[in-house]
Amino acid sequence: MKILSDQNYRPGLEGVIATETTLSYLDVEQEQIVIRGYDLIELATKVDYLRVAYLLVAGHLPTETEYNAFTEQLTAEQKVPEEIFQIMGSLGPHTHLMDAVRTGLSALATFDPALTDRDPDNTWRQALTLLATMPTIVANSYHIQNHEPVIYPDPTLGYSRNFLQMITGRIPDDTETRAFDQLLTVYSEHEMPNSTFTAIVIASTLSDMYGALVGAIASLKGTLHGGANEAVMKMLLEMQSPDQVEPYLMEKLAKKERIMGFGHRVYMRKPDPRALLMKESLKELVAIKGHHDLYEMCVKGEEVMQREKGLFPNLDYYAAPVYYLLDVPIELYTPIFFAARTAGLVAHVREQYEHNRLFRPRVLYTGPRNLHP
């Protein structure tokens, strides 16, 4: 077997092609996120999250008949076994909500009667179960950790409206629901980030779908991946007002501290199209709910970072204040990211099963040789 030389080594696997996929592609030059042939931003403005989820998992946009059957199946699968809530309630007082969700998902796997069956019909069923139950688990991870009553799904509400009402305890209006639905859509799939790669590496061993997603949660928890959205909101709250944005950022930059919400391993010097959409969504919410200073802070921060570092905001930068205006607790930002990304993750896992090859890379060894005891 050929040993890779340093000519082939890329720290962090940057730019390395890891797999073939028909699911998505980040076309940086065209500033487009391709989802099974469609532009993700166009999808987010024209269809709802569940249609995009169906597209990812099934491979095509649903007909009305397929969509209705899909939503009925998801509604039927929304209920989570009470034992899951009991397990989540037994966790320690300092539990991060991503760890609570990870535990809930891992426990949910034990209720699957065909956990290791990788037949396409069964993995379709598992995909629907995960899509249906993740909002219930995610929303209630917060309530349980804060000793609040569990909020159960309302089968009379649509997917996104129901998800948001389980978080806030109130039924959101149409503007709030649309903003939240767009958030779910733009987070639904993004080619091959660390968490998706983790999921398909696990799936390549022929482990079960739940296990693959448990690994993805652990990856997504990190502040360099999903946790960035929480850090962005905390940063905005520390700034307090638009006139404090520039001095705050300049001080951070002088200390060579990382500014969360800017830069991206793939986009680098190109705008994240999802951030541009969420910027418009934030503008619409501000017009209705107030907090114009929050929008002004974000715009000012964008200007400073573009001037000083040549960096564009990524999705997290504008998603965070949208969450905030929707009354979503900061601790739930990353778990919601995972719930939305479940659609892409289960689609990748199913695709890996269909054309599987075990991942087994090599290393560039830099240690000593020929030592003797």
Q: What is the mean pLDDT of each run of 10 residues along the chain (373 residues)?
A: 60 86 91 94 97 98 98 94 97 95 98 97 98 98 97 96 97 96 97 95 98 97 82 93 95 91 70 92 92 94 93 92 97 97 98 95 90 96
Provide long-range contacts, Cβ within 8 A and 24+ apart, for 37-46.
40/185, 40/186, 40/188, 40/189, 40/273, 40/274, 41/186, 41/273, 41/274, 41/276, 41/277, 43/185, 44/182, 44/185, 44/186, 44/277, 45/182, 45/277
Q: How far apart (Å, rounded) are the C-alpha atoms in residues 136 and 78?
A: 7
Q: Which residue type is seen at 124?
A: W
Q: How far apart (Å, rounded) are the C-alpha atoms in residues 74 and 89?
A: 25
pLDDT for 31: 83
Distance of CA 222 to the CA centre of its chain: 12
Q: How far apart (Å, rounded) are the C-alpha atoms in residues 214 and 240?
A: 36
Residues in the chain: 373
Active site amino acids: 264, 316
Q: How far apart (Å, rounded) are the C-alpha atoms in residues 345 and 331?
A: 22
pLDDT for 223: 77
Q: How far apart (Å, rounded) are the C-alpha atoms in residues 203 and 51?
A: 25
Q: How far apart (Å, rounded) are the C-alpha atoms in residues 43 and 216?
A: 25
* Residue closest to 282 by CA, chosen among 267, 297, 304: 297
Helix and strand element counts for the chain (H, E): 16, 3
Distance of CA 322 to the CA centre of its chain: 15
Sheet arrangement for strand 24-27: 24-27, 32-35, 38-39
Helical pair 333-354 and 97-109, crossing angle rounded to 10 deg:
40
pLDDT for 1: 43
Q: How far apart (Å, rounded) are the C-alpha atoms in residues 13 and 115?
A: 32
pTM of the model: 0.93
Q: How far apart (Å, rounded) are the C-alpha atoms in residues 259 and 122?
A: 43
Q: What is the dihedral of CA 94, 97, 103, 106, to 10 degrees?
A: -170
Cα distance between the two ends of the chain: 29
